[in-house]
């Protein structure tokens, strides 16, 4: 089957994620210009994930019942609207509200897009296709902060951050150019609404591999999110210009793109379990290291290595959750993973704001180090639990079934 649908999905995701990655630091700078302190910046960053926290599972159920593609234009419209309205907001309350709209739009897009990848990929192709899909996010994270840093001027932060938010709305609108014929086939998972509705959430959450995959994704995304939201605050305290902060964030994103381009060889070399555990552990050390008053060049090196490590967790946690969940509730399982992500995006920035207010702006990165350390342990534990799983679940193709082999035996292989 032609994979042009995946290319178009990556292009659309690049524009949507680029807009979000441009808007997130712009929101932080605009909030600072409106008089916000570290706590307020943390609250506004947390509101971004608040609406998605309650909407993820219903949207996943709806996607299990039918088509995924309609969520994509809805998500683009909400992201663009949230960016534009944030640029015109004159108070911290409205900044938080429109940040929540932006987050809801991002959730809609990601649930629809991830479900399309899961639905249209063969099991042995899921690691590769999810890795390629997340390249779209990394490309957006690469370009977005540079664009924001180029537009935002420290001497007129209020006006230039508003301009950056309006530009990000226009960037997001470009996603519409690729949203055509992405959902190219229907599979059994999307055509059985009655079966999908019978799978309770607690059963999905008790499935081996799902909780660990959710927590790993939560920890990795929290690290990316707090880096995006709080590195500008660290820059302000250390006297680093917004343009330099934008370059540093983009270096991290560029390393993540590089990681995902070589994802399949890395899995074949180390195996999924060792790859997840090693990268989470190294990322924990590097996140904690950001708290140290290192020079800018050293901070850049740390962020490059950190970006490479953080590039592993998201695509492999998607594959882990999809392959562990019941076939008729894969979109719901992905939505639960996103619910965990959004819970982390609510709790982590709010906690980071409180910690920063008490212990300083670098302290949240120590907290991230602890989260990633726990994720590394769960990665090892989950890998041991899946030791009897198939080669597909470990990132290798399963052996071809012998001729005449019964269907039940084929499925077990």
Among all chains, which residue has been given the structure tokens 């994103």? Answer: 253
Rounded (to 5) percent helix, strand, coil in the chain:
85, 0, 15
Q: What is the mean pLDDT of residues 282-298?
A: 86
Question: Taking a C-beta distance cutoff of 8 angstroms, is the pair 271, 363 a contact?
Answer: no
The token pair that represents 46 in the structure block: 């947390």
Question: Taking a C-beta distance cutoff of 8 angstroms, is the pair 299, 248 a contact?
Answer: yes
Provide the Cα torsion 39, 45, 51, 52; round to 10°: -140
The token pair that represents 402 in the structure block: 């012998």
Alpha helices in 174-271 (DSSP H): 193-197, 201-206, 210-238, 242-261, 263-270
At CA 14, angle to CA 8 and CA 15, rounded to 5?
Answer: 100
Determine the 3-state secondary structure of 35 from DSSP.
Answer: coil
Give the residue from 211, 385, 219, 206 showing the smallest Cα distance to 309. 219
Model confidence at 198, pLDDT cuts 50, 70, 90, reads low
Mean pLDDT of the chain: 78
- Look at residue 195 and tell me whether its pLDDT is greater than 50: no
User: What is the total residue count of the chain?
Assistant: 413
169-185 pLDDT per residue, tens: 999 999 998 887 776 55
Give the residue from 115, 131, 133, 128 showing the smallest Cα distance to 186. 115
Task: Give CA–CA dist 169/103, Å, rounded.
Answer: 13
22-81 pLDDT per residue, tens: 998 888 888 888 888 777 887 887 788 777 778 877 877 777 766 777 788 999 999 999
User: Phi, psi (5° rounding) for residue 279?
Assistant: -70, -35
Is the model more confident about 182 or about 111? 111
Q: What pLDDT shows up at residue 349?
A: 67
Question: Taking a C-beta distance cutoff of 8 angstroms, is the pair 26, 152 a contact?
Answer: yes
Q: Give pTM, 2 decimals.
A: 0.71
Non-local (6+) Cβ contacts of 283 within 8 A are 220, 223, 306, 309, 310, 372
Non-local (6+) Cβ contacts of 249 within 8 A are 21, 25, 141, 145, 146, 149, 227, 228, 231, 303
């Amino acid at each position: 089957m032609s994979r042009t649908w995946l290319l178009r999905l990556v292009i659309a995701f690049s524009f949507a994620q680029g807009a979000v990655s441009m808007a997130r630091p712009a929101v932080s700078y605009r909030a600072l210009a409106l008089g916000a302190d570290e706590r307020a910046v943390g609250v506004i960053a947390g509101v971004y994930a608040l609406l998605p926290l309650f909407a993820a599972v219903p949207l996943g159920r709806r996607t299990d019942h039918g088509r995924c593609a309609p969520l994509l234009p809805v998500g683009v419209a909400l992201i663009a609207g949230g960016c534009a309205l944030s640029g015109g907001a004159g108070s911290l309350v409205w900044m938080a509200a429109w940040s929540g709209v932006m987050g809801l739009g991002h959730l809609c897009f990601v649930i629809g897009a991830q479900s399309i990848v899961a639905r249209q990929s063969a099991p042995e192709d899921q690691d590769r296709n999810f890795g390629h899909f997340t390249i779209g996010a990394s490309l957006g994270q690469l370009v977005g902060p540079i664009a924001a840093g180029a537009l935002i001027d420290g001497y007129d932060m209020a006006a230039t951050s508003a301009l950056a938010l309006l530009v990000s709305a226009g960037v997001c609108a470009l996603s519409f150019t690729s949203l055509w014929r992405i959902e190219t086939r229907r599979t059994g998972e999307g055509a059985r609404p009655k079966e999908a509705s019978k799978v309770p959430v607690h059963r999905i959450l008790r499935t081996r591999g799902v909780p660990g995959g959710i927590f790993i994704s939560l920890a990795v995304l929290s690290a990316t999110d707090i880096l995006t939201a709080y590195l500008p605050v660290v820059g302000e305290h250390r006297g680093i210009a917004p343009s330099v902060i934008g370059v540093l964030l983009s270096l991290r994103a560029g390393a993540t793109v590089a990681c995902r381009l070589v994802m399949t060889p890395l899995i074949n070399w180390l195996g999924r379990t060792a790859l997840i555990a090693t990268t989470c552990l190294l990322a924990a050390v590097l996140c904690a290291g950001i708290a140290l008053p290192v020079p800018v060049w050293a901070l850049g090196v740390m962020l490059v290595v950190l970006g490479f490590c953080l590039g592993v967790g998201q695509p492999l946690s998607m594959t882990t959750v999809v392959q562990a969940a019941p076939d008729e509730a894969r979109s719901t399982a992905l939505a639960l993973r996103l619910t965990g992500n959004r819970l982390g995006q609510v709790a982590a920035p709010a906690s980071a704001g409180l910690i920063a207010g008490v212990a300083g702006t670098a302290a949240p990165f120590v907290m991230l180090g602890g989260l990633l350390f726990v994720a590394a342990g769960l990665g090892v534990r989950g890998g041991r639990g899946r030791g009897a799983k198939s080669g597909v679940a470990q990132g290798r193709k399963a052996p071809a079934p012998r001729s005449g082999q019964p269907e039940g035996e084929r499925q077990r292989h």
